[in-house]
Every structure is written in C-alpha cells, then in structure tokens.
C-alpha cells in the first residue's frame, strides 16, 4: 500500500500527539517495511528523525502552497496525494483534508478525545467551533475512525452519533525509551543535573484546570505534619489557573515544596525538550500523582507504568482503562481522598512493590509493536487484505 499521514504533529509537537505519530512511524518502518509511507508535513523541524529506510518519504508544500501551509494541510494536500498515487490517508490528530472522500483515496482518522466538548469554558469560543467542525467532518467522512480508548469511543457514539461499527479502539503507546530500566548511576546524574531532591513525587502535564495540580498541592499541604516529600512538576502554564496555583503555594508557604522543572534553566537543554531525560526523572521518583479530571488516554500514566512507578490517578474518564489494576484510584475532586492515598502508598512498601509489578505487566497491553499492528489491521481491513 501507498499510505500517507498527516505528519504535522510528528515534527511540531514534542509531547502527546507528536509522540503518537512518531511511535507509529518508527514501528511501521520496522514491522511493515513492505508498504510505502508518505509523511505530509507543513513544516520540518528537528523533533523527528526519520528511520533510514528507502520507503519512507517526507512531502512538504511547494510553489504557492508554501505560503499557506495550514491550508495545504487541511485542503490542498489532496493534489499531492493524487500525484503520488496514495491509496490511504491517515489523519493522526482528529482531522482529514476537506473533501478527501471525493478523491477515491480511502481515509482513517484517529480521535484522541473530545475534551473541549466537556469543558468548553476552558477554550476560546472560536476554537470550540473550529474543533467541533473539524472533528465532526473527520468522523463523518473518514472510512474508519480509530479511538485511542473505549472512553473516547463512547464519547464519539454518544456526542457525535458515529456508528459503532465504524470505530475501532487502538490504544496508543509511548516512546520506547521508557521501557529501559535506567541504572542508579544514571538516575543520580539526572538528579544532579536538574538539582532534584533525593525523594520526590512527580506530576506531569500542562498547568491547566483540568489537570488538577491545585488539588495535588492542597493534598500535600494537608499532609505537611506527616510527610515532607516535595513535588516535582513537569509542565508549564501561563494562565489564570497557573497563577492560582502559585498564589496558593505562596499563601501556604509551600513554594519550597513544589519544583516547577520547566522554570529552571536546565529545561532549555535538548535532552529535556525532547524528553530523553524523562525516563530517569520518572524512575527516580517515589510515585506519580495524576488526578486529572478528564483525559482521552492519560499518557503520563502509561509512561509511569513502564517506569515501574506507583501511580495515584483519577477514577474518571479513561484513566482506569489506562492504569488497569496497577494504579490507586481516587475521586479527583476530593483533596482528602488524594491525601489519604498519598500517605497510604508512601508508608506501605509492599503495596508499592505490588503496584510496580502489576504496572509493568499491564504496560505490555500498550506495547508499541502491538499498537502499530492494531492500526495496520484497520488499514488492511479497509482493503480486505
């Protein structure tokens, strides 16, 4: 098959959607070398290095299309697809080119979540309308829809009335760098590099209301007389909610207990920006605190599973699906529940060991090789191979 992809995220996003694209491309190159792959990229960056195989190609806009890369990606790219005899186009992040259903090229779209439908107040009204239009167009006109979790599948059926038989759940994976167990020496080097404390809890994600960092800080404050373990945050935010978190920390005199890693100069280095140092940061932590209100998948939970890290996360949305029997689940709106869970995991060594052992077993369900194979099966079913 000649398969093309929307490769914008692979080159322009360093986290979630970018990782999803890069992991798929790498596994396809390794496991399915019989196909021709075309990465349709509005802009090239150093975020992704292509596998060195002759059947993986990058296509960028040319001529007048160079002046309008976003229009090329959402519409004009169809001409480049037809010129190259593309048989299948995969929109990897919620959208497909307008009108592709009239070209004779089959299409697949991956839907990660409908978070903006649950929390429209956290988005600009114009963005909500734009996302809704793109997402609905993709679901209506793609030949197949991939949902990255059963929760997202349910949302697509209930909110957008997508026919059940059109949707296939294909779990995503994370970068394979998390699979390797780092040495104690490597972890000590990373802790020294980023000036991390000997013991710390970890929180990963943008500092936005849905991610619920404020309740993490409140839970730690509630435990201040029993636990003094600091929190390391990987994530940034320049918004009203982030300011609210900072104000709370100052008011409670907790500023020295929460380390915002991205505010440190070391975070500007390439190995932080491309996440290469993250496995050691995860594996040196005591536990992951991830009480997000809503997720489409919850990638940090999977990264923590591979890292053999105990996880406290929410009993909402897809998170029990991602964490399986390895995580401890709490009501994300309850500071008391979260504090109790943190204390329980902190003092119970046997529980921590059990969570770690269950975590690495559950992570196999999301192995990159398996995830890529499931996506390839969607392609093959379209062509009845």
Read off the pLDDT of residues 234-287 as tens digits, 9 standing for 90 and up.
998 888 999 999 999 999 999 999 999 999 999 988 899 888 999 999 999 999
Same domain, 149 and 282: no
Same domain, 143 and 232: no
Same domain, 206 and 188: yes
Same domain, 73 and 139: yes
Residue 50 predicted with pLDDT over 90: no
Same domain, 52 and 108: yes
One DSSP character per residue, 145-162 reads EEESSHHHHHHHHHHH--
Residue 323 predicted with pLDDT over 90: yes
Tell me how far apart the alpha carbons of residues 328 and 362 are, in angstroms, rounded to a whole number: 14
Tell me how far apart the alpha carbons of residues 126 and 101 are, in angstroms, rounded to a whole number: 26
| Helix runs in 75-145, H state only | 77-83, 115-118, 125-141
Task: Check which CATH number belongs to the domain holding 282 and give it.
Answer: 3.40.50.2000
Q: What average pLDDT does the segment 119-133 reach?
A: 93
Check if the beta carbon of residue 261 is closer than 8 Å to that of residue 280: no
- What residues contact 184, with CB distance under 8 A and at least 6 apart? none
Tell me how far apart the alpha carbons of residues 212 and 47 are, in angstroms, rounded to a whole number: 29
Residue % of the chain over a pLDDT of 90: 88
DSSP state of 93: S
Same domain, 169 and 193: no
Residue 196 predicted with pLDDT over 70: yes
Expressed as residue numbers, the domain containing 241 is: 178-364
Residue 110, Cβ neighbours under 10 Å: how many?
Answer: 27
pTM attached to this predicted model: 0.91
Same domain, 143 and 218: no
- Tens of pLDDT along 294-313? 998 999 999 999 999 999 99
Same domain, 341 and 379: no
Residue 14 predicted with pLDDT over 90: no
Number of domains in the chain: 2
Check if the beta carbon of residue 109 is closer than 8 Å to that of residue 140: no
Same domain, 61 and 163: yes
The pLDDT of residue 385: 63
Average pLDDT value for the chain? 95
Same domain, 212 and 113: no
* Torsions phi, psi for 189 (to 5 deg): -65, -45
Residue 60 predicted with pLDDT over 80: yes
Residue 3, Cβ neighbours under 10 Å: how many?
Answer: 20
Check if the beta carbon of residue 229 is closer than 8 Å to that of residue 346: yes
Same domain, 185 and 161: no
Residue 256, Cβ neighbours under 10 Å: how many?
Answer: 8
| Helix runs in the chain, H state only | 8-12, 16-31, 69-71, 77-83, 115-118, 125-141, 150-160, 184-193, 213-222, 240-251, 270-273, 278-284, 299-306, 319-323, 335-347, 349-363, 368-383
Same domain, 201 and 115: no
The pLDDT of residue 97: 97
The pLDDT of residue 16: 78
Q: What average pLDDT does the segment 103-124 reach?
A: 94
Confidence of residue 146 (pLDDT cuts 50, 70, 90): very high
The pLDDT of residue 93: 94
- Tens of pLDDT along 203-219? 999 999 999 999 999 99
């Amino acid at each position: 098959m000649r398969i093309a992809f929307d490769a914008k995220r692979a080159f322009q996003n360093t986290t979630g959607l970018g990782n999803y694209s890069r992991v798929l491309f790498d596994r396809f190159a390794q496991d399915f070398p019989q196909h021709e792959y075309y990465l349709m990229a509005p802009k090239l960056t150093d975020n992704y290095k292509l596998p060195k195989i002759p059947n993986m190609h990058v296509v960028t806009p040319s001529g007048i299309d160079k002046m309008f890369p976003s229009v090329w990606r959402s519409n004009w790219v169809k001409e480049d697809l037809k010129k190259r005899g593309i048989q299948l186009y995969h929109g990897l992040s919620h959208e497909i080119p307008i009108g592709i259903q009239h070209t004779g090229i089959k299409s697949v779209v991956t839907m990660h979540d409908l978070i903006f439908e649950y929390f429209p107040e956290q988005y600009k009204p114009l963005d909500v309308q734009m996302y809704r239009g793109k997402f609905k167009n993709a679901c209506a006109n793609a030949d197949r829809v991939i949902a990255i979790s059963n929760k997202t599948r349910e949302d697509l059926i209930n909110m957008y009335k997508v026919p059940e038989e059109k949707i296939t759940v294909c779990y995503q994976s994370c970068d394979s760098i998390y699979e390797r167990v780092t040495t104690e020496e490597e972890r000590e080097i990373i802790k020294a590099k980023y000036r991390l404390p000997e013991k710390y809890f970890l929180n990963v994600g943008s500092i936005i209301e849905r991610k619920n960092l404020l309740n993490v800080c409140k839970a730690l404050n509630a435990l201040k007389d029993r636990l003094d373990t600091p929190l390391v945050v990987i994530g940034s935010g320049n918004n009203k909610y982030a300011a609210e978190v900072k104000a709370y920390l100052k008011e409670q005199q907790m500023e020295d207990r929460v380390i915002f890693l991205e505010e440190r100069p070391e975070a500007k280095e390439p190995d932080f920006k491309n996440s290469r140092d993250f496995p050691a940061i995860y594996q040196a932590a005591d536990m992951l605190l991830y009480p997000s209100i809503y997720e489409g998948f919850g990638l940090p939970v999977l990264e923590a599973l591979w890292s053999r890290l105990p996880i406290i996360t929410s009993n909402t949305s897809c998170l029990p699906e991602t964490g399986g029997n390895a995580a401890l689940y709490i009501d994300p709106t309850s500071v008391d529940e979260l504090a109790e869970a943190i204390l329980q995991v902190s003092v119970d060594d046997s529980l921590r060991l059990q969570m770690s052992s269950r975590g690495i077993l559950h992570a196999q369900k999301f192995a990159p090789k398996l995830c890529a194979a499931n996506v390839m099966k969607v392609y093959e079913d379209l062509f009845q191979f």
